[in-house]
Amino acid sequence: MVLDDLGSSLRGTLDTLRGKSRISEEDVDEVVKEIQRSLLQADVDVSLVMDLSDSIKERALEEEPPGGTSARDHVLRIVYEELVGLVGDSTTIPLEEQTIMLAGLQGSGKTTTAAKMAWWFSKKGLRPAVIQTDTFRPGAYDQAEQMAERAEVEFYGDPDSDDPVQIAREGLEATADADVHIVDTAGRHALEDDLIAEIEEIEATVDPDRSLLVLDAAIGQGAKDQAQQFDESVGIDGVAITKLDGTAKGGGALTAVDETGSTIAFLGTGETVQDIERFEPDSFISRLLG
Ligand code: GDP
């Protein structure tokens, strides 16, 4: 990671270590304080920030810098390694035949993300299909159909049906020629029992290779309960963070990553089908600290 990617105040603090061969506890405290400030502002959970702070302090003071390494570079390397540990690696998404199910609350960005992911897979040379099982939210069918059209991918839904499980089953059959099936599910305004029961049934029917939890970047502490519930009911393999084009930095989603023992797969950065990125630890760290 280049120093330019760090927040400017953190960069400034690290620069005060320039020329020092030994590092004091006060020096490390200053650096850790800057990191804490940025991460808390980015909605990263307090306990995750505290664990990270402890690790940085311990390592910076106890590990011997390799010969010839300045105090500043030593601390920078530890800070970087710990931040990479915090945000995790990118979820493995093999470019092969697979079924991916999306889970999340209403408004989190599932339908948009389904179309974006389909677009992403099509650009990788695969043949994706979006299956829309959201019979709960009015307009979900039309929205999904339009977005799939814009993404130029196959689409299946049934605006006249109120049975998401049947739509899922028929959708897989109707799009059997496709090699990546992306199954969009209905959300609710909150975690309700019928939502969980419904997604469990869909999961049992489509038997996804991976299930991704879709979270709005602005999610704060709410991420924990959602992650726990969805992970218990269908098992979460990865997270997609949406709306990163706004002011929110998505740090709250790290709680979901921690809670589910998963990683981040995709980032949503706008409302059109092309506004999707694969998660990269370095650029996400820059975003968090910036
Ligand atoms: P769902 O209820 O989970 O299916 O959510 P939708 O996909 O309908 O998204 C809810 C709203 O968020 C819609 O107005 C989307 O256009 C918007 N949205 C989704 N992803 C993004 C994103 O990455 N950036 C922005 N700016 N808006 C998004």
Q: How far apart are CA 265 and CA 183, in angstroms?
A: 16
Q: How far is the CA of 243 from the centre of ligand 1 (A)?
A: 7
Query: Which pLDDT band holds residue 3 (cuts at 50, 70, 90)?
Result: low
Which pLDDT tens digit goes with each residue over 36-66? Answer: 999 999 999 999 999 999 999 999 999 988 8
So what's the pLDDT on residue 23? 84
Query: Which pLDDT band holds residue 30 (cuts at 50, 70, 90)?
Result: very high
So what's the pLDDT on residue 9? 76
Q: How far is the CA of 102 from the centre of ligand 1 (A)?
A: 13
**Positions at the binding site for GTP:** 104-111, 184-188, 242-245
Which pLDDT tens digit goes with each residue over 213-249? Answer: 999 999 988 899 999 999 999 999 999 999 999 999 9
Q: How far is the CA of 93 from the centre of ligand 1 (A)?
A: 22
- 270 Cα nearest atom in ligand 1: 24
Extract the tokens encoding 178: 């496709």
Query: Which pLDDT band holds residue 189 (cuts at 50, 70, 90)?
Result: confident
Q: Average of pLDDT values for 86-96?
A: 97
So what's the pLDDT on residue 190? 78
| pLDDT for 7 beyond 80 | no
106 lines ligand 1 (CB under 6 A): yes
The average confidence (pLDDT) of the chain is 93
Q: How far apart are CA 117 and CA 132, in angstroms?
A: 14
Extract the tokens encoding 189: 């305004």
So what's the pLDDT on residue 207? 98
Q: How far is the CA of 146 from the centre of ligand 1 (A)?
A: 14
Query: Which pLDDT band holds residue 262 (cuts at 50, 70, 90)?
Result: very high
Which pLDDT tens digit goes with each residue over 99-110? Answer: 999 999 999 999
Residue type, 169: R
187 lines ligand 1 (CB under 6 A): yes
Extract the tokens encoding 114: 């389904």
Asked whether the whole model's pTM tops 0.90, one would answer yes
So what's the pLDDT on residue 5? 65
Compute CA 175 distance to the chain's CA centroid, rounded to the nearest angstrom: 27
Residue predicted with more confidence, 193 or 8: 193
Nearest CA to 227 among 46, 238, 181? 238
CA dihedral 193, 254, 246, 113 (to 10 degrees): -60
Which pLDDT tens digit goes with each residue over 61-75? Answer: 999 888 888 888 899
Nearest CA to 72 among 9, 23, 7? 23
DSSP state of 54: H
Residue predicted with more confidence, 15 or 26: 26
Please list, in sequence order, all residues whose beta carbon lies within 8 angstroms of the beta carbon of residue 226, skipping any fewer than 6 positions away: 104, 105, 191, 213, 215, 219, 256
DSSP state of 271: S
So what's the pLDDT on residue 247? 93
So what's the pLDDT on residue 180? 98
Long-range contacts of 257-262 (CB under 8 A, 24+ apart): 257/87, 257/88, 257/227, 258/45, 258/48, 259/223, 259/224, 259/227, 259/228, 259/231, 260/213, 260/227, 260/228, 260/230, 260/231, 260/236, 262/91, 262/213, 262/231, 262/236, 262/237, 262/238
Query: Which pLDDT band holds residue 8 (cuts at 50, 70, 90)?
Result: confident
| pLDDT for 139 beyond 80 | yes
9 lines ligand 1 (CB under 6 A): no
